[in-house]
Amino acid sequence: FPMEKLMEQFLEQSAQAEENFYRVEEQRLQAEDRRREAEHARELHMLQMLAQVFSSGRPSSSSSSTPKPSPPARPPVISSTPPSQHTRGPPGHLKRPASQTDSFSQPPSTDPQALALPSVLERYYSLGSSSLGGMDDDIVSLVKSIVPPLTSKKHKGQDGRIGIIGGCKDYTGAPYFAAISALKVGGDLSHVFCTKDAATVIKSYSPELIVHPVLDSPNAVEEIEKWLPRLHGLVVGPGLGREDFLLKTAKEVIERSRARDIPIVIDADGLWLVTHQPAVIQGYQKGILTPNFMEFTRLFEALHHEPMNSSDHQRSVMQLSAAMGNLTLVLKGEQDLISDGSKVYSCSVEGSGRRCGGQGDLLCGSMGVMAHWAHAASTAGLIRGMNPSVVAAFGACSLTRQCNNQAFQRHGRSTTTSDMIQEIGPAFRKLFES
Ligand SMILES: NC(=O)C1=CN([C@@H]2O[C@H](COP(=O)(O)OP(=O)(O)OC[C@H]3O[C@@H](n4cnc5c(N)ncnc54)[C@H](O)[C@@H]3O)[C@@H](O)[C@H]2O)[C@@H](O)CC1
Ligand SMILES: Nc1ncnc2c1ncn2[C@@H]1O[C@H](COP(=O)(O)OP(=O)(O)OP(=O)(O)O)[C@@H](O)[C@H]1O
């Protein structure tokens, strides 16, 4: 049957052509990203040098009667520690006496560098929003330094193409909150990979999202993998549900994203998957887990095979992060505790008493973008001596809490996550751009 043969050949050729297209496209995007990153690094380096020249050349006389110009922003390089020492010592200018640091290192360390940063972070972030005007520039600069400058030379996509794996029949709000938050923080494109019956609903919430109804298709993994070369960050779990097929797809997508070195934030039902199969993300340095207390307890008990000591959260966070191969972990709560297994950082920016559903989705969506920024900044040598995943986690936690605070001031008890999303722009400016 020559007709059938012809058809077969045709199909084979078009599959081949499609594959070639994606390969070439992937190479093109990677080359473009490298070029833009190098350009970005050069620009920041120039700014740094200018700032240094400016601050060293500035007249020091305080008795001068003419008003002094305000100093430029602090240069973004945080430390001169070699990049191989991520997660170890803090930036030199953040050092402080070890005596003030005891409660944040588990077990207590004798290395003054290792002791210094957590307590500095704690000292500032415990101050709450009322003291935002008096922020400690050193600490805020950790997060500020990863925020890419907005310049007219940029093209769409460069500041973040983020993928959300989640959205099913029961949950359409969660992936929407995560994806729209990624855009509002400053990511350029947000892709949602959800089930067919969730797709139209999610699309109808916002024309800004790119929605792929593929999560329950038989070749879901391949459908999603096509997009991986274009993604800078992945958020797995918001509204994913717990059906076996969906969890299996999520697992394979995580594995393939790991192989491509893409930063991955895992939340909600994605954490259910990790609780049952920790190896899927264990030891991946670009992975971040964001459990609430319940999710944390489940994960802890699955890994340690014993009940958690709930009187010492800091120790538990350190233990679990270490057991996960020094993965960055955020235990959300009254204070957010962040650890990569070597230290615990506490974020206590003042929020409010209002705990509506979806705040965690805002957090993980914004963290997806910040993780991309932080790893790009680290690759460019702009943050050294500090784990980029921790910087991203810290930035996203502060931002979510600040949004909660601002939304509550306007809406009080009726505050919802949509109200918080409205506050992302002003909150971001207040924390990281003022
Ligand atoms: N609008 C939406 O579509 C939303 C969907 N969501 C999705 O809903 C699904 C299930 O999420 P759940 O968070 O309900 O997960 P679970 O079904 O595991 O429930 C966890 C339970 O723990 C409780 N809890 C949380 N923190 C606690 C604490 N500190 N102490 C004691 N109890 C605590 C919560 O009230 C919740 O009922 C996920 O896919 C999630 O993404 C949520 O993100 C909320 C918004
Ligand atoms: N008691 C609290 N005080 C202040 N902020 C809090 C408090 N609890 C949680 N948060 C903040 O709310 C954000 C989301 O945490 P939450 O515990 O609501 O997550 P979640 O339960 O996973 O959310 P979701 O409803 O999206 O599933 C975190 O960034 C955290 O900082």
Residue-wise pLDDT for 224-271, tens only, equals 999 999 999 999 999 999 999 999 999 999 999 999 999 999 999 999
**What is the whole-number distance in angstroms between the Cα of residue 27 and the centre of ligand 2?**
39
Q: Determine if ligand 2 sits within 6 Å of the CB of residue 166.
A: no
Highest mean pLDDT of the ranges 270-279, 344-353, 385-394 = 270-279
Share of the chain above pLDDT 70, in %: 80
**Structure confidence at residue 83 (pLDDT):** 30
**Upper half-sphere CA count for residue 384 (Cβ side, 13 Å):** 14
Q: Do residues 48 and 354 touch, judged by C-beta distance below 8 A?
A: no
Q: Is the CB of 82 under 6 A from ligand 2?
A: no
Range in 57-66, 76-85, 323-332, 344-353 the model is least confident about: 76-85
pTM: 0.77
Residue nearest ligand 2's atom 29 by CA: 397
Average pLDDT for residues 377-388, to the nearest whole number? 90
What's the order of all strands across the beta sheet hosting 344-347?
Answer: 210-213, 189-194, 161-165, 233-236, 264-266, 287-289, 328-331, 336-339, 344-347
Task: Please state the rounded mean pLDDT for residues 293-315.
Answer: 93
pLDDT at position 40: 74
Q: How many CA atoms lie within 13 A of 374 on its CB side?
A: 31
Q: What is the Å distance from ligand 2's center to 6 Cα?
A: 58
Q: Is 269 annotated as a binding residue?
A: no
Ligand 1 atom closest to 240 (CA): 39
Report residue 138's pLDDT band, with 50, 70 and 90 as the boundaries.
low
Q: Write down the ipTM of this complex.
A: 0.94
Query: 238 CA distance to ligand 2 centroid (A)?
Result: 14
Find out whether 160 is annotated in a ligand binding site: no
Q: Averaged over 355-370, what is the pLDDT?
A: 98
Please give the Cα distance from 236 to 36 (Å, whole number): 27
Question: In the prediction, which pLDDT does 128 show?
Answer: 35
Q: Judge whether 365 is annotated as a binding position.
A: no
Residue 218 φ/ψ, nearest 5 degrees: -60, -30
CA-293 nearest atom, ligand 2: 17
Domain boundaries, the chain: 155-433
297 is in an annotated binding site: yes
Ligand 1 atom closest to Cα of residue 176: 3
Q: Which residue has the tokens 């020091």?
A: 60
CA of 22 to the centre of ligand 2 (A): 39
Q: What is the CATH number of domain 155-433?
A: 3.40.1190.20
